[in-house]
Chains A and B, each alone.
Chain A
Amino acid sequence: DTGVSQNPRHKITKRGQNVTFRCDPISEHNRLYWYRQTLGQGPEFLTYFQNEAQLEKSRLLSDRFSAERPKGSFSTLEIQRTEQGDSAMYLCASSLRRQVQETQYFGPGTRLLVL
């Protein structure tokens, strides 16, 4: 069990550019979550997948954001036409739905800076 991994760990981009982040969950975990964390705040829920199906999206997830989880394995989060307000830490977590009281395990995050 290697834990949740995220790539890249850091990303600096110019306003208006598109960026894509990747999350590899713990193997066999069927649920995958994306959160956003801004400076001085707790993580905020963005969206979650059960297997390959995206079952919930927060109001925080604007039309510029899209997430996928093909084949129910890794997931990608893409931000189009980035804005300075998108600068944040993007966290991925995974869990196993089979557990009655599931636990979300978090990756190290991708820190995005939009100039």
Chain B
Amino acid sequence: AQSVTQLGSHVSVSEGALVLLRCNYSSSVPPYLFWYVQYPNQGLQLLLKYTSAATLVKGINGFEAEFKKSETSFHLTKPSAHMSDAAEYFCAVSVSGGGADGLTFGKGTHLIIQP
């Protein structure tokens, strides 16, 4: 079975600073990896996904993530934080991209942006 670990339940950065949200996964087969963002009282919005085409994945709102097989990591970064980035971020893994195994999510990281 696959699993996801997100290091840090809360991350606080200053506006304009680098954002780094950590995600490590466990999977017995090559995984599909996803980052979703959740704003208060809303559903999840896809930021980006890794599907083996390229190890560096660019997503929406200036976010990107790099797949590192040797480190079993898929950390999310953004060069310069905006106040609007404050939200809950979830890393997720799937072995099939969908279907019977659904998505396995981490516990989430709450991103706080300091003015």
A-B pair number, CB within 8 angstroms: 74
Counting CB contacts under 8 A, is B67 at the interface?
no
Query: Which of A38-91 touch B at CB < 8 Å?
Result: 40-45, 48, 50, 55-56, 58, 91
B: number of interface residues (CB 8 Å): 26
B105 touches which of A6, A33, A43 (Cβ 8 Å): A43
A: number of interface residues (CB 8 Å): 32
- Tell me the nearest residue of chain B to A56, going by C-beta: B100
Which residues of B lie under 8 Å from residue A42 when comparing CB positions? Answer: 4, 90, 92, 105-108
CB distance from A32 to the nearest CB of B (A): 11
Tell whether, in the assembled complex, residue A105 and residue B46 are in contact, meaning their CB atoms are under 8 Å apart. Answer: yes
- Tell me the nearest residue of chain B to A4, going by C-beta: B43
A33, B96: Cα distance in complex, Å: 14
Which residues of A lie under 8 Å from residue B32 when comparing CB positions? Answer: 101
- Tell me the nearest residue of chain B to A9, going by C-beta: B41
Binding site for A on B (CB under 8 A): 4, 9, 32, 36, 41-46, 49, 51, 90, 92, 97-108
List 4 additional A-B contacts (Cβ < 8 Å) besides A45-B103, A91-B43, A102-B98.
A42-B90, A48-B102, A50-B99, A103-B98
